[in-house]
Amino acid sequence: MRKIAIIPARGGSKRIPRKNIKEFFGKPIIAYSIDAALKSALFDKVIVSTDDYEIAEISKNYGAEVPFMRSEKNSNDFATTADVLLEVIENFRYKGYEFDHLCCIYPTAPFINSDHLKQGFDILNSTGADSVIPVVRFSYPIQRAFKIENGRLLMIWPENLNARSQDLMPVYHDAGQFYWFKVESFIKQKKLFMDYTVPIEIPESEVQDIDNEEDWKIAEMKYKINKNMDY
């Protein structure tokens, strides 16, 4: 079974300039994703898809391949992750390479590790699913969420006002680290959350979505705690 890891890393980050190669505890943050993929020893190829030549060179220095640059149509703000992955698969097919499994790994996921990648692949195989997505449980029950209308604070689901937390269904969100796919299913469905998707649950201490500078600082704090580093 041939497996490919694809790390999508566009150069045009706006909220955190040059986010994908910004230094995170001594090395570009994308290096953590590359390292995890290589250390897992799962993949025939570890690819970075980028439109940025600096990102390409840094990625190659850390052991990834950049066999071609991303097309202009998939380098704007409207291109989806699925579009980017399909472009890579199609380019390899044109060259005669076929893959059975694909893992999309995000470039700003410093908590990712090879054990979770292996676990995700094992789940994909053992369940027969189309895809595996790491998830993390919401720390507060969303059934008690508020909304603001005309300056007033209102419950979205007021029927849950007096419900005990332990009686409310646990709810999860995407951990934002990686996605495992069967390539055949992905080509047919062309989406990340596929018809038969199963989870791998990751603790909140090992998850941090990084969209802005505050997220980045929280990620640094979590990383220090996880690594028992001095503040």
Q: Please state the domain extents for the chain.
A: 3-136+172-226
Q: Domain 3-136+172-226's class? A: alpha beta
Q: How many CB atoms lie within 10 A of CB 219?
A: 21
Dmax over CA atoms of the chain, in Å, equals 61
Q: Is the pLDDT of residue 215 over 60?
A: yes
Picking from 19, 68, 222, the residue whose alpha carbon sits closest to that of residue 60 is 68
pLDDT digits (tens, 9 = 90+) for 23-77: 999 999 999 999 999 999 999 999 999 999 999 999 999 999 999 999 999 998 8
For residue 229, the model assigns a pLDDT of 61
CB atoms near residue 198 (< 10 Å): 17
pTM: 0.94
Tokens of 152: 């007033």
